[in-house]
């Protein structure tokens, strides 16, 4: 690249500017694609683990809940339907809480390529500074 003090024709400067801008945009697009792909892969892995865990936990939870109902009925002398209602209500509340927490973590904002957006803002700032410096050099000449 030529030194900043050398005299280059304006068409050459503009040509270099457009070439560098095109290269920058292409690289930023590649970065954004890679970041979104990485985010999607992470979400996919998370959903797979979530489904696998749910499949394994459901039968175990049913057995444990049946044991809790039997323990309440036998230990406290409650009718089986009251024991089932107490255990079922507690598990329902816990399940709703877990669903709300899980849904809040699967928002679209998690897919936004934040690093790329930040980098684009920095690139725009640097480009503005360079254009203003080139303009000042051109005016001084």
Residue 90 placed within a domain: yes
The answer to whether 124 and 57 are in contact (CB under 8 A) is no
Residue 35 placed within a domain: no
Domain total of the chain: 1
Residue 40 placed within a domain: no
Q: What local confidence, expressed as pLDDT, does residue 93 receive? A: 96
Q: Which domain holds residue 115?
A: 48-126
Residue 1 placed within a domain: no
* pLDDT over threshold 70, residue 123: yes
Q: What local confidence, expressed as pLDDT, does residue 128 receive? A: 79
Q: What local confidence, expressed as pLDDT, does residue 25 receive? A: 87
**pLDDT top residue among 117 and 55:** 55
Residue 57 placed within a domain: yes
Residue 76 placed within a domain: yes
Exposed, middle or buried: residue 125 (CB in 10 Å: 0-12, 13-18, 19+)? exposed
Residue 62 placed within a domain: yes
Residue 94 placed within a domain: yes
């Amino acid at each position: 690249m030529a030194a900043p003090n050398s005299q280059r024709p304006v068409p050459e400067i503009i040509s270099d500017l457009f070439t560098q801008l095109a290269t920058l945009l292409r690289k930023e697009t590649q970065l954004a694609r890679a970041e979104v792909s990485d985010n999607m892969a992470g979400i996919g892995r998370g959903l797979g683990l979530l489904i696998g865990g749910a499949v394994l936990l459901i039968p175990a939870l049913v057995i444990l809940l049946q044991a809790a109902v039997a323990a309440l009925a036998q230990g406290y002398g409650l009718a089986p339907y009251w024991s089932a209602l107490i255990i079922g209500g507690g598990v329902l509340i816990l399940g709703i809480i877990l669903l709300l927490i899980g849904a809040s973590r699967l928002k679209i904002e998690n897919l936004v390529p934040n690093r790329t957006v930040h980098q684009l803002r920095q690139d725009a700032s640097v480009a503005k500074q360079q254009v203003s410096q080139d303009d000042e050099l051109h005016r001084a000449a």
